[in-house]
Amino acid sequence: MQGQQQVVAQPGQPQPPQPQQQQLVQQGNVVVKMNDVQVQPLSSVGLLELAHREYQAVDYENAERHCMQLWRQDSSNTGVLLLLSSIHFQCRRLEKSAQFSTLAIKQNPLLAEAYSNLGNVYKEKGQLQEALENYRHAVRLKPDFIDGYINLAAALVAARDMEQAVQAYVTALQYNPDLYCVRSDLGNLLKALGRLEEAKACYLKAIETCPGFAVAWSNLGCVFNAQGEIWLAIHHFEKAVTLDPNFLDAYINLGNVLKEARIFDRAVAAYLRALNLSPNNAVVHGNLACVYYEQGLIDLAIDTYRRAIELQPNFPDAYCNLANALKEKGQVKEAEDCYNTALRLCPNHADSLNNLANIKREQGYIEEATRLYLKALEVFPEFAAAHSNLASVLQQQGKAQ
């Protein structure tokens, strides 16, 4: 959720936008025809409200058509210009979106919403500095502009200015403390910064505001997992999928924590539910295969790793894990090939370096094994297994330090 742009379809609107009658100039009636039968004429106010409803219903074609009728009548109507900029942005017609935002600014240089919409275009095009300038100008013009702060925060995250992004989210929440989605996004940012207790407080507040908000339950589960509170993590992930039975990420999180807790049967159930929602998810296939491997279901693990690789050929972890399973079955040559494939995809894949070194050691290629162990430790200096394996090899050679 973090990083989504809030497109402002009209001035002064709260999020989500609702049709309002602001900055409108009363025009002559417009006749709307349905199947060539004349119906009650709509005023320009009514037609703009209709266009807003169509916009909210994702009927962008009709929303644009009705806006263009109004714009041809009065090209200075900033409400129409804002809605057109929003429609074109949603349809990824970025240049047209920018054009209508710019026209709105020409009509009203103090229109904060137009600067925010223009910032969205720049952000989408990767021009972060220009996006930030427009968002900052928007909130200077309108200090209580919540959507402007949300957009500013997302752009600051993209620019890796995390502390300023935190402040932008905090400011938005000062103006409306009940924005539970924004509070959850702030929690995500704090979690990424390692400020877990602050993140936890954000998620708890979001849940207090909206107890049915499954995303916050799942995010809180991630914090508990990071803090080693496995059972609390499981509880919160289970709550998330109870609230939203189609919540893919929560099923994946639940499966992962159950796998780490070695509750394999429930982990399998969680991953299978995730695959029911997303059958071609390579990572889930890979994680499920790991559980099968731990359960001793080696053939099933091999088949599932192969499926993960079929779905995502550039998946070094899956090749490494497949190699482990093949080695377990005595298929050493095939295992060696898989480790080498993993290392072609990711030359610094520490597990593959260590495991391939084990094979070389067993084959009597001690110098090659030593080189691979050293490379694994260069990549991951705290790799305990590689330290132990290297020490054993050196001891065998009489080179133990």
The answer to whether residues 156 and 164 touch, using CB atoms and an 8 Å cutoff, is: yes
Percent of the chain's residues with pLDDT above 90: 82
How far does CA 340 lie from the centroid of its chain? Answer: 32
Q: Name beta bridge partners: 33.
A: 38
Sorting pLDDT into bands at 50, 70 and 90, what band is 9?
low
Q: Is the pLDDT of residue 23 over 70?
A: no
CA distances from 111 to 4, 67, 172, 202, 319 (A): 21, 19, 19, 32, 55
Q: Is the pLDDT of residue 203 over 60?
A: yes
Residue-level pLDDT at 12: 47
Q: Tell me 14's DSSP state.
A: P
Q: What pLDDT, in 10s, does the model give residues 371-396?
A: 999 999 999 999 999 999 999 999 88
Average pLDDT of span 364-375? 96
Q: What pLDDT, in 10s, does the model give residues 163-180?
A: 999 999 999 999 999 999
How far does CA 327 lie from the centroid of its chain? Answer: 36
Interatomic CA distance for residues 86 and 7, integer angstroms: 6
Residue-level pLDDT at 74: 87
Residue-level pLDDT at 40: 45
Q: Is the pLDDT of residue 27 over 60?
A: no
Q: What pLDDT, in 10s, does the model give residues 273-295?
A: 999 999 999 999 999 999 999 99
Break the chain into its structural domains and give their ranges: 348-400
The answer to whether residues 302 and 325 touch, using CB atoms and an 8 Å cutoff, is: yes
Which residues have CB under 8 Å from 58's CB, separation 6+?
90
CA distances from 62 to 19, 31, 38, 67 (A): 16, 15, 18, 8
Instruction: Give CATH for domain 348-400.
Output: 1.25.40.10
Q: Which residue type, as a one-letter code, is found at position 163?
A: E
**SS3 assignment, position 58:** coil
DSSP-assigned states of every residue in 119-138? HHHHHHTT-HHHHHHHHHHH
Q: What is the pTM of this model?
A: 0.80
Q: Tell me 38's DSSP state.
A: E
Q: Is the pLDDT of residue 239 over 80?
A: yes
The answer to whether residues 281 and 275 touch, using CB atoms and an 8 Å cutoff, is: yes
Residue-level pLDDT at 10: 57
**SS3 assignment, position 156:** helix
Average pLDDT of span 58-76? 90
Question: For residue 296, what are its two tokens?
Answer: 């001793």
The answer to whether residues 122 and 130 touch, using CB atoms and an 8 Å cutoff, is: yes
Residue-level pLDDT at 90: 94
Interatomic CA distance for residues 96 and 104, integer angstroms: 12
Helix (H) or strand (E) run with residue 104 in it:
helix 94-107
Question: For residue 332, what are its two tokens?
Answer: 């050493």
Residue-level pLDDT at 11: 55
Residue-level pLDDT at 41: 52
Q: What pLDDT, in 10s, does the model give residues 112-140?
A: 999 999 999 999 999 999 999 999 999 99
